[in-house]
Amino acid sequence: MNQLMDCQLLQWPDDQAAYRTAINENPANAGRSNGGRRKRSLINYSKLWANGRTLKIAFMDSPDADRKRKIIAAASRWLPFINLKFDFVDGPQGDIRIATRTGSNSSMLGTDALLIHPDWPTMSLGVDPQDPDFDVIVTHEFGHALGAMHEHQHPKANIPWDKPKVYEFYANREMNPLTREQVDVNLFEPFDTLEAIYTDYDRRSIMHHPVANALTLGDWENPINRKISKKDKKMMRQLYPKQPRKIR
């Protein structure tokens, strides 16, 4: 089974605290212009980092040089499409803190990472560096860290899930079984966020889980997407636009 199906997108449970943190980091998270009006609500806001800033990314548990190199390379696949910089450091202190000695792959969503206790990781990358999908999984988790949701939960995805089979599949796995609630949160519930921060539904997105035909009704499946799609790039350029050059 592909480990990307095990990815868990984590969000801070207290919406009020998450909202305050997001707005403090980046006031634009409160809402984008829409017909001359600004949207502001605890449901309809984004968790994007301040545009143009440098994110300090800490390796908390001293992974070996090869694993570290591969993580940096996979995460850096986003850099051409965002107006952010990554500063990778060793030690416990960082805006994003990575733990690798785990059996799971997960990430806090964007600025929710700022609410995690400073001694705890905000991202788990337990995938083996020899896994053929290592780069995909790391890039996917960093997409979440930048504020991107799961594409299969796009409001217009309309995936014909066979929900009883999906619940059974995840409940009976030997590794990392999921409860019905966890399945709902990570697969079924459509995300509700600012219209300005997502493009049309993209089956090729690297943020889309692979979907097995056996877990859907009729004949519907989606393979693992190994590359950052054109729409992924468009979305990230929209979320973190490059600053216009000053005319001298």
Give 60-83 pLDDT, tens digit per residue. 999 999 999 999 999 999 999 999
The answer to whether residue 219 sits within a structural domain is yes
Residue of 9, 21, 235 whose CA lies nearest to 111: 21
Residue the block writes with tokens 């997001």: 22
Predicted confidence band at 40 (pLDDT cuts at 50, 70, 90)?
very low
Boundary of a domain, candidates 147, 170, 193: 147
Residue 126: CB partners within 8 Å, gap ≥ 6? 100, 101, 102, 103, 104, 105
Give 135-159 pLDDT, tens digit per residue. 999 999 999 999 999 999 998 899 9
Find which of 29-43, 114-128, 229-243 is predicted with most confidence, using mean pLDDT.
Answer: 114-128
The three-state secondary structure class of 149 is coil
CA pair distance 35, 38, nearest whole angstrom: 8
Give 81-112 pLDDT, tens digit per residue. 999 999 999 999 999 999 999 888 999 999 99
Alpha-helical (H) ranges within the chain are 15-25, 65-75, 134-145, 163-171, 180-183, 230-239
Boundary of a domain, candidates 147, 179, 199: 147
- Examine the domain organization and report whether 143 and 180 are in the same domain: no
The answer to whether residue 172 sits within a structural domain is yes
pLDDT at position 151 is 92
pLDDT at position 175 is 76
User: pLDDT > 90: what percent of the chain?
Assistant: 72
**Host domain of residue 100:** 52-147
